Chain A
Amino acid sequence: MAHGPTRRPRIVALTLAALVATAACSAPGGDAGNDGADASAAPVTDATCGTAPVTLKGYFETGFPLPKNLSDEFTKQFPNVTWDIREDQFAVITQNAPRVLSDDPPDLMRLPQVSELVKDGLLKNLDGYASAFGWDKWPASQLEQMRVSGTGERGDGPLYAMGLNFSMTGIFYNKKLAAQVGMTQPPATLAELDTVLQKAKDAGLVPINQFNGGATGGLAFPLQNLMAAYGDPAAINQWIYQKSGATIDTPANLRAAEHLQKWLKAGYFAPDINSQDYAAMMSRFIGGKNLFIFDGDWESGNLDKQMAGNVGFFLMPPAQAGGKRAAMSAPLTYGISTKAKNADCAAFFLNWVATNQQARDIAVKVGGSHPMGPADAYMPAVAGNTVTASTLAAGATIGTDNGAMDFIANATGAIYAKGWTPQLQKMAAGQQTPDGLLKSVQKDYQSQVKD
């Protein structure tokens, strides 16, 4: 030990030098799919699962039984297909998506926002399957959000993902409490909604519970609804799709953000909104603690079970009487890795989900949302007094009003966690102005789109 210390630095230096030499000789990266090589999909003539045993590798979202139920039914109908399923929470899937798609490619995977994955060449171009299966003859709005152009803008271009169903969002209400404040039918205008909110407040109720704590700024739900009430949903989609020159900082959106601020200042939201998470919001609403929540039809089945007969749904009312309605409505996206082994079988499954009668039954009964597929396809019967029936009917209204929007939180991979959430939390605490909110999010958006 006596002569140790004098030698140690040299050994360390040498080891470090050797490691630096091996580590630094090449720039990191470049292990993406095959950039551009798959730009045009090969024409597909016969995509099936065959008759030989196939194991489809799936990567699904924990907590949502729909994909598992569908895969079980699929195996029942096609016994040669078995499943190797991995499940994670959506946040984990979002973080893992690029690495998993490239290192451990699943045949079928629940996808977060797709534009960055497409840019890295990680997702299979599904255009070949679309024309083989006739997906391109479905209502175009169903697939629009999953198309990505060569420049990375969404909304048109090749198809890179497919939905298991598509969701509808709006306002759920507690019927008993609604009657208590004299709301006999859903408000027809924004002003009427304001009146109901004030009445609920006056009656000592919590008018709205909305999750807005942690990394999930749920105020984005009412905000986007207000944006569409004041402005044009198409313009909001332009921004979400990263069309060049699109901005969220518009006069109409400013009025929407100001309206939301008015609600916040009037005390229409629970005072602990910034520490309320999604589970807390659901348990309070189901427990009859408040009148409204802004949420989506993925909860329809759950609410019909837990608040049977006591829960209603309506779409955000327009600013002017008789105006068009709009809502966030997005497919439950699943994609196929560029490197997937059984891409044909996975695509066959996706087509089966949209067209098979049992699969469509499951999509509605388990998923609560509208199945994908042709406009005149089979629809399962749903009891009239359920909230599931209301949300499915709302889908038809949105269809005629052409008011479907993707979610402003999906504009880029990080805009929700790093843009909307902190700014909306600041606004809820009175530390951000409506104008500052939009400007700040727009700034984040621009720096993220540029990358």
Chain B
Amino acid sequence: MPAPRTGRRAARARRPGAAWLGWLFALPAVLMYATFVLRPLLLTVQYSLYDWNGIGASTWVGLDNYRRLLTDPELSATILHAFELILFFSLIPVLLGLFVAATIRGIAESRLATVARTVLFLPQIIPLVAAGIMWSWLLSSTGLANELLSAVGLDSLTRAWLGDFGTALPAVGIIGAWVLVGLCTLLLLAGMSKIDPALYEAARLDGAGPVREFRSITLPSLRQEIGVCVTVTVIAALASFDIVYIATQGGPGNATMVPGLEIYYLAFSEREVGMASALAVALVVLVLVCVLPIQRLTRESR
């Protein structure tokens, strides 16, 4: 059957029946999707081929913007920073989430489990902007982090964590980890609750300890949940913007400049809409390249 087109043509499709009626129902959603997702996406691709300040006349430059992306060390550094953030946004939350979820499951009966779950999930309901502001206070030179260090005699370690070239990016990463660990814990807990308890019982009868239980039953059963966690957090790391914007604005001296923030600066401060679009397209491709293999890897088991 010929593919019905969107819009009014669908109504004129020759074949009567459910097909066009279905499209009619989908029409509002399709229109919204096309207007607010597909069109901007395609326009971004188009803009990336121009040299344009957002207002005046534009000049066709072909792939020049992409060429600059590969040769400008300042731009490629932002992508490296994004990969460094994956360590904090993905690895730490997933590992910590697994550990915490397993622990909470172990004490599932007690009140403590509910409290722990709630406390860990709290960062998720706090807007990222608020989290960023809160953490920038905690990590400031007179903040709680430094006061704690001083209290235990580690004065030599105190510093303005977000203003120090060596620690700014990890400090931003820690904020992200704090936000995402609750999400991962909750997802993994949900996954654990659907594992058949009989499996654990059987394993215990066979003499398996908690570590063996975790490795042989919990981990394999959580394959899909872990896949979701890693996917969501990797995207959060690569496309990070809010936390960095609030905590450091890319500083000090570009030490925490990430692609999302660079796109924003290019478009609205340097008014290089073409270059900003090119970086945005590259970021989309980068996210897909990173996320698709993860999806494949975690789905194959079936």
Contacts and interface: CB of A to CB of B under 8 A. Distances in A.
Given A28-B52, A120-B55, A215 B249 contact: yes
Interface of chain B, main secondary structure: loop
Interface string B4-44: 11100000000000000000000000000010001100110
A421 interface: yes
B270 A431 contact: no
Contacts of A145: none
B253 A31 contact: no
A19 B39 contact: yes
B227 interface: no
A27 interface: yes
Nearest to A280: B140
Given A7-B3, A23-B46, A215-B249, A275 B163 contact: yes
Contacts of B191: none
A116 B163 contact: no
A137 interface: no
Contacts of B34: 15, 19
B136 to A, nearest CB: 8
Given A214-B248, A413-B269, A429-B252, A27 B165 contact: no
Contacts of B272: 451
Given A27-B50, A27-B58, A98-B54, A425 B252 contact: yes
B135 interface: no
Interface string B157-188: 00111111100000000000000000000000
A20 interface: yes
A433 interface: no
B42 A23 contact: yes
B38 A19 contact: yes
Contact of B269 (A271, A275, A417): A417
Given A94-B269, A274-B163, A431-B165, A214 B50 contact: no
B125 interface: no
Q: How large is the interface on B (under 10, 10 to 19, 20 to 34, 35 or more residues)?
A: 35 or more
A276 B142 CA distance: 11
B39 A414 contact: no
A414 B250 CA distance: 14
A421 B254 CA distance: 9
B99 interface: no
A429 B251 CA distance: 12
Interface string A94-123: 110011001000000000000010011010
A132 interface: no
B221 interface: no
Contacts of B163: 213, 272-276
A397 to B, nearest CB: 35
19 contacts: A18-B6, A20-B42, A23-B42, A23-B46, A27-B58, A28-B43, A28-B52, A29-B52, A29-B57, A98-B53, A98-B55, A213-B163, A213-B252, A214-B248, A414-B269, A425-B251, A425-B252, A428-B252, A431-B253
Interface of A: 7, 10-11, 14-16, 18-20, 23-24, 27-32, 35, 94-95, 98-99, 102, 116, 119-120, 122, 213-215, 270-276, 280, 413-414, 417-418, 421-423, 425-426, 428-429, 431-432, 448, 451
